[in-house]
Structure 1
């Protein structure tokens, strides 16, 4: 019997070693394919920009409605020498503050509701009702309560970022395999140990999905807040372009917003990949 156990142990160690080798090989392949992935990601924007440039230059699209991408580039350079960085810094500060507050509250309430059926009975109906309220519906009330300063803008962003993180975290906790929890309880793990060793690793993929969705919603909400009451920010730049009838300013603001959203999402995606690199999951067919 002991010899059989040794053989089984050796086979298990060999399987684990092969699995580890497979993950290392997959990680190395993904590193080599990253430059190619970046080039593929740039292909569609390049085609769209080239098509717009040709359409405007040939007169198919009115230049006063859709400026050529080359003209947008010069507008971007002009703004970069002036107020562009101040607008970006103002919006980024609001997004990070609101997203941080909303995500932290979502993690607290999401863990509470996910782990406790009693907490779910008390909290979940109210949160589901509040989730159905559009973000813009909060704007008049926040302006009345908090005024037009930074507090109202950050609060609106926090509300927008809260629900994606909350919903995904609750779903992640509730999708933990019940057998894993039962096995942990059989081995005498405390509630805190169960959370640390079973619930957190299992719910992490859902949490990162919620964080990325919440961050995207935060960028949407900051534009909504700055469109209504702001003297700085990307949303203010959009309003300024509309008031002076300059579509190039509006389009540059949209491009900057898209770039900032992509940059911050890429940081979260990199953090997600580093935190979940122990998983051996399907990464898509080549």
Structure 2
């Protein structure tokens, strides 16, 4: 049986999705909702509003009340297991090909997250070079994704251009391939988590909306040794983006199927 707060939340959710409450509209107070739904406790109605806030439908502010959030249409980011190149350099999302930096890119020294340090093979308390940029369609005031590259300082010492304000034509990937005289191979892992404060501010999302995190390792060969030259983490609002790719058949799933005796 559906709890009273779930019933109220379902009614308000349906009203929002039908357009009865437009983005920015203020909802009735918890007291008014409780009365409208025949519930004695306004705490029950408040619980319904908090549920909708967690789902990303509302923003609740002290002395303002519950307002309807703008929920963007999903933009599918197609990551089809290919790296592309244009006159600027490598890129990985066909849908983001025309995107540009929103604000000035930054670079500096910082201790990376532990999982990044593990991938780079550096101690957890050791600084790395961090290059950060926010990307979005040209003319946008707010970025749609944040991309942060981490590079071990030992590699920056080998390739000083990696630490320069401008790494030159083709960017850091061209400098890495030139130095190692071989192609980069990339490996990506996709995960999600709740945003930190900086991501909430830069992407314009509340703390309840997860971010989609694409962690990309840049791997090159030095003789018989494999080197992870850079790790990039790209974050975007999960409510706004999805990942789409073609499912490829392994040899074991070939068609037509072989008849087994």
* The two structures share one fold, judged by TM-score above 0.5: no
Higher strand share: 2
Higher helix share: 1
Q: TM-score, normalised by structure 1?
A: 0.24
Q: TM-score, normalised by structure 2?
A: 0.26
